[in-house]
């Protein structure tokens, strides 16, 4: 049973004594933004009601990535941005609700592309958060080398997340996976079986594609290639069967139309049920 089907029955049983608390989670590939564009991106996020918890991918490894983190901090976000030594893209985690406590994931390959944290809200709820940025296929000399190694590292990591986060805390995994789901429309022949198996590894590891909970058949794309073909690269997963209701999930295309990035964002609303005093 998926998470969206579990909580409503619990709410009905406890309706007289329940207060609903919601948080918006948003993931977005920021396309290695310059310092100036990063300022605009941070301002855009700060104005979004669904950007309480943020996972940003393709954050520059150099000073412009640090500048984006600083811009978010000026808007009231607590930020975690791993160090890549300035040589590679990174993933950034941030929240403007509650505390952000970094947890070690010990990814075996490119660990700055896999970040983890616990978000703790003053209302009493907690959220485990994992941000991912899977490498692209890479240059001809290293075609798929880093991509496959990182995907293998994440696949190995997924079953161990139950030891990283408390079992009673919902966990969200978000980011740009640089792969599409099986049955993606349109079909892209460039993807191999091993890439589809990576997508399937999330379900095997106990996670559900949040967008597909709400839109089982809808065709959406978060990035478009030079030919105009669309790809659903950006994803949000949650622990399957957990006590989290995903009340809505949608792609936000304003980011592309406004020239803030070449990727659309993806956001979801998560709703907790907490007993009132």
- Enter the tokens of residue 203: 């379900």
Query: Residue 5: its pLDDT value, please?
Result: 26
pLDDT above 60 for 1: no
Question: What is the C-alpha separation between 70 and 23, in angstroms, rounded?
Answer: 23
Question: What is the C-alpha separation between 212 and 157, in angstroms, rounded?
Answer: 23
pLDDT in tens, 217-227: 999 999 999 88
Domain range for 149:
3-275
pLDDT in tens, 171-189: 999 999 999 999 999 989 9
Query: Residue 31: its pLDDT value, please?
Result: 98
Q: Which of 269, 215, 204 lies closest to 7 in space, CA to CA?
A: 269
pLDDT in tens, 101-119: 999 998 999 999 999 999 9
Query: Residue 139: its pLDDT value, please?
Result: 84
Here the CATH number for the domain that contains residue 16 is 3.60.10.10
pLDDT above 80 for 142: yes
* Mean pLDDT computed over 137-165: 92
Question: What is the C-alpha separation between 25 and 172, in angstroms, rounded?
Answer: 9
pLDDT above 50 for 16: no
Chain-centroid distance, C-alpha 36: 24
User: What's the angle, vertex CA 175, arms to CA 173 and CA 238, rounded to 5?
Assistant: 25
Which has more confidence, 22 or 145?
145
90-95 and 171-176 strand pairing:
unpaired
Query: Residue 244: its pLDDT value, please?
Result: 59
Query: Residue 243: its pLDDT value, please?
Result: 52
Tell me which DSSP letter residue 110 carries. Answer: -
Residue entry with tokens 């809200």 = 121
Tell me which DSSP letter residue 158 carries. Answer: G
Query: Residue 233: its pLDDT value, please?
Result: 97
Question: What is the C-alpha separation between 146 and 135, in angstroms, rounded?
Answer: 6
Query: Residue 167: its pLDDT value, please?
Result: 86
Chain-centroid distance, C-alpha 224: 19
CB 165 within 8 A of CB 207: no
Task: Output the CA torsion 80→117→26→232 (10° steps).
Answer: 100
Q: How many CB atoms lie within 10 A of CB 230?
A: 18
Question: What is the C-alpha separation between 193 and 61, in angstroms, rounded?
Answer: 31
pLDDT band with cut points at 50, 70 and 90 for residue 11 = very low
- Enter the tokens of residue 38: 């990063």
* Mean pLDDT computed over 19-33: 87
Instruction: Name the domain count of the chain.
Output: 1
- Enter the tokens of residue 265: 């964002």
Question: What is the C-alpha separation between 194 and 196, in angstroms, rounded?
Answer: 6
Longest dimension (CA), the chain: 63
CB 176 within 8 A of CB 187: no
Question: What is the C-alpha separation between 250 and 215, in angstroms, rounded?
Answer: 9
User: What's the angle, vertex CA 152, arms to CA 134 and CA 186, rounded to 5?
Assistant: 55
Q: How many CB atoms lie within 10 A of CB 239?
A: 22
Query: Residue 124: its pLDDT value, please?
Result: 84
pLDDT band with cut points at 50, 70 and 90 for residue 247 = confident
Residue 32: is the preceding peptide bond cis (ω within 30°)? Answer: no
Which stretch of 8-12, 77-81, 214-218 has the lowest confidence by average pLDDT? 8-12
pTM for the model: 0.90
* Mean pLDDT computed over 6-14: 28
Query: Residue 273: its pLDDT value, please?
Result: 57
């Amino acid at each position: 049973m998926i998470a969206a089907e579990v909580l409503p029955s619990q709410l009905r049983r406890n309706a007289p004594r329940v207060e609903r608390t919601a948080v918006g989670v948003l993931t977005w590939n920021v396309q290695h933004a310059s310092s100036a564009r990063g300022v605009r991106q941070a301002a855009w996020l700060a104005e979004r009601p669904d950007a309480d918890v943020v996972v940003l991918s393709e954050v520059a490894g150099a000073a412009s990535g640090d500048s984006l983190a600083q811009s978010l901090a000026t808007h009231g976000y607590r930020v975690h941005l791993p160090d890549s030594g300035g040589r590679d893209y990174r993933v950034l985690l941030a929240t403007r609700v509650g505390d952000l406590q970094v947890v070690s994931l010990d990814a075996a390959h490119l660990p700055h592309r896999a970040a983890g944290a616990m978000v703790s809200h003053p209302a009493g709820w907690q959220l485990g958060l994992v941000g991912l940025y899977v490498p692209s296929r890479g240059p001809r000399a290293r075609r798929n080398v880093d991509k496959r190694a990182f995907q293998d590292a994440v696949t190995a990591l997924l079953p161990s997340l139950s030891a990283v986060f408390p079992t009673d805390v919902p966990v969200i995994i978000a980011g740009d996976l640089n792969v599409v789901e099986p049955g993606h429309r349109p079909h892209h022949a460039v993807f191999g079986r091993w890439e589809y198996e990576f997508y399937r590894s999330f379900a095997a590891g106990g996670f559900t594609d949040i967008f597909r909970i709400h839109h089982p058949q809808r065709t959406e794309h978060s990035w478009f290639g030079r030919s105009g073909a669309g790809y659903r690269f950006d994803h949000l997963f949650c622990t399957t069967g957990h006590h989290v209701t995903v009340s809505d999930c949608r792609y936000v295309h304003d980011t592309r139309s406004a020239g803030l990035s070449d990727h659309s964002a993806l956001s979801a609303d998560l709703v907790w049920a907490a007993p009132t005093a």
